[in-house]
Amino acid sequence: MQLERMLQSQGFGTRRECRALVRMERVAVRGETMDDPFADIDTVDLDFSVDDVPWRYQEKAYVLLHKPAGYECSQKPKHHPAVFALLPPQLVTRGLQCVGRLDEDTTGLLLLTDDGQFIHRLTSPKHGVLKRYVATTKHPVDDAQLAALRGGVELNDAPGVSVAAHAVEQIDANHLSITIGEGRYHQVKRMIAAAGNRCEALHRAAVGRLELPDDLAPGQWRWIDPNDI
């Protein structure tokens, strides 16, 4: 692939901007400084750098972000900054989108990608990819609430439909681990409310087989292999 096209595909700007980066000798490929924007580059296992910042060529970008509270999963945030503000501008330029949304005050594992099929597979109710949350409740959890969450509760926008958690475990008096397969609007908070309690804080710990890594601080992100989900 032509060098300037490769840079453009990775979010470094328009072709003209990428051409200028190369002409200014700000780009190195496999350790070698480049000056020809039209050089043919093999993109397999490609390490390159721009202004000495290392990058690896990614045909599609798959990113895991430890979402902190106070960020919106929206391209047009209303009251708080967007999660995209936590990512390098190259990833935003190449059009990363959130794989489902977390509420502004929800923390934890958020996936972002520019692979539309991947978003569809992970968010479509047909596939029912499991999402595990840790919820902090206002009142101590009791057996009736656990039974309601396991057996199914009715949400106000779907009367007559019983929505059950895939799994619910009590962690301690005011903490629940709750796993769901769908992704309805405010689903976990509304299920806990419908069971007779109140969700005071919500944290997503896992999506499919992928757990939020312990060493990834709030606000930090890393590349992931989509096959790990």
Instruction: Return residues touching ligand URA (CB under 6 A).
Output: 102-103, 106, 186-189, 202
Cβ-based nearer residue to ligand URA, 11 or 108: 108
Question: Which residues face 175 on adjacent strands?
Answer: 136, 172
**Which residues are CB-contacts of 101 (< 8 A; sequence separation ≥ 6)?**
73, 74
Cβ-based nearer residue to ligand URA, 156 or 227: 156
Q: Is 103 one of the catalytic residues? A: yes
| Cα distances (Å, whole numbers) of residue 224 to 65, 110, 140, 214, 221 | 10, 12, 37, 15, 9
Cβ-based nearer residue to ligand URA, 48 or 71: 71
**CA-wise closest residue to 94 among 120, 111, 112, 78:** 112
The least distance separating ligand URA from the CB of residue 3, rounded to whole angstroms, comes to: 41
Contact between 94 and 8 (Cβ < 8 Å): no
The least distance separating ligand URA from the CB of residue 82, rounded to whole angstroms, comes to: 15
| Cα distances (Å, whole numbers) of residue 8 to 15, 38, 43, 58, 151 | 6, 12, 13, 12, 51
The least distance separating ligand URA from the CB of residue 173, rounded to whole angstroms, comes to: 21
The helix (H) or strand (E) run that includes residue 108 is: strand 107-113
- Per annotation, catalytic residue among 40, 42, 103, 157: 103
Cβ-based nearer residue to ligand URA, 29 or 188: 188
**Which residues are CB-contacts of 94 (< 8 A; sequence separation ≥ 6)?**
9, 10, 11, 61, 114
The length of the chain is 229
The least distance separating ligand URA from the CB of residue 42, rounded to whole angstroms, comes to: 42
Which residues does the annotation mark as catalytic? 103
